[in-house]
């Protein structure tokens, strides 16, 4: 019996040493309130009570990395001057959702090539202007790289077609992954075969099952950290097309309207905003009209 008790005690000690999050007490209501208010005020994302367990789980990694033993200790640090300067972006990294895929909602890319690009090119034919594209909330890069493949392919058939792609996200972690352009083979399943053959490079070590976006495509995308709640986006150009798909669903209605208003200001007259299939501008007092399902055009 004593031997069993010793073994159980040894195992508990091992767990506490190797997995210190087992000993963390749950976030208090006050701590959760402070953190959820910070998230909504700084990056606009709703954080209802139902997200409390998710928030606790995601913060375990940061507590272990910083050597903290409790959520109150972490909160005190985060809300200190030093914490705001050093920890805030790490905090946003772990709590933001970064779900994305190559060629997600593929009909958007078909409509871009078949309808929108010809119209924009015809509009600017006399001045031969470069078209500017923005992937807002680009996560690990699948969307802007999908866009780059489509536009590069289109440029081979369209004389004098020039473009730039600007891709932003609030998470520094996902931007680092995006710039590398390295993905598991499972992630590239939605990529059309002809694009896989032209624009994706397989690892020499086939056992790793990794692919990398070709340099000619990576070089077309400029990645930068940007918080969509910032007052001034400081974009390098007016945009002709903005992709912000499956992002505003995480925001409350007033925040959605505020963000769409900012996108409106960033678009050139006649430019287009692409939203996700579950998102809509219905009822928003902003002069963007439906051009195609979940694609909106600036008209005034």
Closest by CA to 98, choosing from 141, 127, 54, 161, is 141
Residue 240 falls in the annotated catalytic set: no
Residue 58 falls in the annotated catalytic set: yes
Whether this model's pTM surpasses 0.85: no
Taking the mean position of all CA atoms in its chain, how far away is CA 137? 3
- CATH architecture of the domain formed by 2-95: Orthogonal Bundle (1.10)
SS3 231: coil
Tens digit of each residue's pLDDT (9 = 90 or more) over 77-106: 999 999 888 888 888 877 776 678 999 999
Catalytic residue among 42, 58, 64, 123: 58
Catalytic residue among 62, 93, 104, 169: 169
Tokens of 180: 């590398």
Tens digit of each residue's pLDDT (9 = 90 or more) over 202-257: 988 878 889 999 999 999 999 999 999 888 888 989 999 999 998 888 888 889 99
* pLDDT score for 3: 44
CATH number of 107-298: 3.40.50.150
Tell me the CA distances in angstroms from 246 to 88, 216, 297, one per residue in order: 24, 28, 18
Length of the chain: 300
Report the half-sphere exposure of 180 (CA within 13 A, side-chain side). 13
Tokens of 45: 């994302």
Map out the domains of the chain as residue ranges.
Answer: 2-95, 107-298
Strand 163-169 and strand 131-136: the pairing is parallel
SS3 299: coil
What span, in angstroms and rounded, lies between the C-alpha atoms of 192 and 111?
16
What span, in angstroms and rounded, lies between the C-alpha atoms of 136 and 230?
13
* pLDDT score for 127: 56
- The residue ranges of the chain whose pLDDT is under 50 are 1-22
Tokens of 226: 């940007």
* pLDDT score for 92: 82
């Amino acid at each position: 019996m004593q031997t069993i008790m010793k073994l159980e005690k040894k195992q508990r000690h091992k767990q506490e040493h190797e997995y210190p999050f087992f000993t963390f007490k749950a976030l208090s209501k006050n701590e959760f309130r402070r953190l959820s208010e910070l998230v909504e005020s700084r990056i606009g994302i709703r954080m209802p009570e139902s997200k409390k367990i998710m928030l606790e789980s995601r913060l375990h990694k940061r507590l272990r990395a910083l050597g903290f033993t409790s959520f109150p200790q972490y909160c005190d640090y985060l809300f200190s001057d030093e914490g705001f300067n050093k920890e805030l972006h790490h905090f946003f990294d772990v709590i933001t959702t970064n779900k994305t895929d190559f060629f997600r909602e593929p009909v958007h890319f078909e409509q871009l090539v078949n309808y929108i690009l010809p119209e924009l090119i015809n509009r600017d034919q006399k001045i031969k202007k470069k078209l500017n594209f923005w992937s807002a909330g680009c996560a690990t890069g699948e969307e802007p790289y999908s866009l780059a493949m489509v536009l590069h392919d289109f440029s081979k058939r369209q004389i004098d077609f020039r473009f730039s792609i600007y891709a932003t996200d609030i998470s520094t972690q996902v931007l680092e992954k995006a710039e590398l352009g390295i993905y598991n083979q499972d992630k590239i399943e939605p990529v059309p075969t002809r694009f896989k053959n032209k624009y994706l490079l397989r690892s020499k070590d086939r056992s790793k099952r990794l692919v990398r976006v070709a340099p000619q495509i990576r070089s077309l995308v400029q990645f930068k950290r940007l918080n969509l709640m910032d007052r001034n986006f400081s974009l390098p150009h007016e945009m002709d097309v903005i992709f912000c798909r499956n992002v505003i669903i995480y925001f409350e209605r007033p925040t959605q309207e505020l963000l769409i208003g900012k996108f409106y200001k960033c678009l050139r007259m006649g430019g287009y905003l692409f939203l996700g299939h579950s998102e809509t501008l219905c009822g928003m007092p902003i002069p963007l009209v439906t051009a195609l399902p979940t694609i909106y055009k600036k008209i005034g």
